[in-house]
Amino acid sequence: MPSYDDSTGKSKITEAKTRYTVLASFFAIGLCLGIVISERIYVQKRAVIPKPRQLVSEIANRMHVGHHAAASGPRNELEAYLMKIAPQKELLLAVANKNTMWDNMLDTFTQGFKRAKVSNHMVLALDQETVSWCQQNGINVFLMNVTIAASQKGTGDNHAVSALKFGILRNFIELGWAVLLSDVDIAIFQNPFDYLYRDSDVEGMSDGFDEHTAYGSIEGFDDPSMGWGRYAQYYKHFNMNSGLFYIKANNRTLELLTRLETRLIKEKYWDQTAYNEEIFFLSHGNYRSPQVSVRIMDIDQFMNSKRLFKDIRHRPKDQQPPLPVMVHINYHPDKHERLKAVVQYYIGGNEHALDSFPGGSEPGTR
């Protein structure tokens, strides 16, 4: 019968237990270290994810060497001025030249900045005369030298200047500032930044004059020759107005503005038509839209002049909507006279201030 050394067996068992304990300890330590390291990496990554209003385009980032702005200050004079007047990275901007000072229209417009206490405003001046006037009247102003494209010559001063705004806006978007762009034929009654939703890339005023034309509707189409397939449906709404809209700073909006600037340099085209085509034309084939998201502003808060003169003013006073935020005289040619009358109607205490104006542009229209 073979002999058996009990002490040797016990020794082997003890050795195995020790080895298992050591391995288990190393495994536990490694697991803990892995969790700690992973958590730190996750937290660090989370920490550098920018908030929505801090997002800037990849193109802008490529133009920005490293963290130059944070380490060395503003990248240019425009950014330095923006940091001073609009540190929250939102700006109410109007583009103006000396023609807007005729008959004091620029003054009527800029009184709205003061009335609504919009401190983060700027007039982007295209000439020194406008700069001087703004400085004398306490208006934030920045001079930018721009050249009207050859394609826009002969379209009239207003249209030619309007076509410049997309290239001008691109400068602000590249720096990371969201902009509420406003034409100067607008009366400002309340701070518009208190009424923005900021949930879309572009948030703008509609040329629509009621809920269906502004917000959209499903319409029917009938082709009897198609028999049982004669009926079809489509979506319809009026264009957005390119004279009043809020635009965020991100890749999509930068691409939108770049496309518009490029088109209007090459084409003799109405800026508002180009603006709506680039926003709403659907991607198809080799064409890809900028894919910006869109919100239509409330038509009684950001009101166009057709809505006001053809509808709202005819309602009994107690059935009219509350004080609007902004009123744009976009539908009528006698802009300044109507603009002054709208101010008198809403805050001047004159409930008959609008009575003498026809509903349309023709006398006698209601």
Provide the residue-wise pLDDT of the chain in tens; the chain has 366 residues.
Answer: 445 455 555 555 566 566 666 566 666 666 555 554 544 543 343 333 333 333 344 444 544 443 455 447 899 999 999 999 999 999 999 999 999 999 999 999 999 999 999 999 999 999 999 999 999 999 999 999 887 655 545 544 555 676 799 999 999 999 999 999 999 999 999 999 999 999 999 999 999 999 999 999 999 999 999 999 999 999 999 999 999 999 999 999 999 999 999 999 999 899 999 999 999 999 999 999 999 999 999 999 999 999 999 999 999 999 999 999 999 999 999 999 999 999 999 999 999 999 999 999 999 999
Largest CA distance in the chain: 129
Contacts with 223 (C-beta within 8 Å, 6 or more apart), sequence order:
230, 232
pTM for the structure as a whole: 0.80
DSSP 12-66: HHHHHHHHHHHHHHHHHHHHHHHHHHHHHHHHHHHHHSPPGGG---HHHHHHS-T
Q: Which residues pair with 96 in a beta bridge?
A: 125
CATH number of 58-300: 3.90.550
Domain ranges (residues) in the chain: 58-300
β-pairing, 121-125 vs 141-143, is parallel
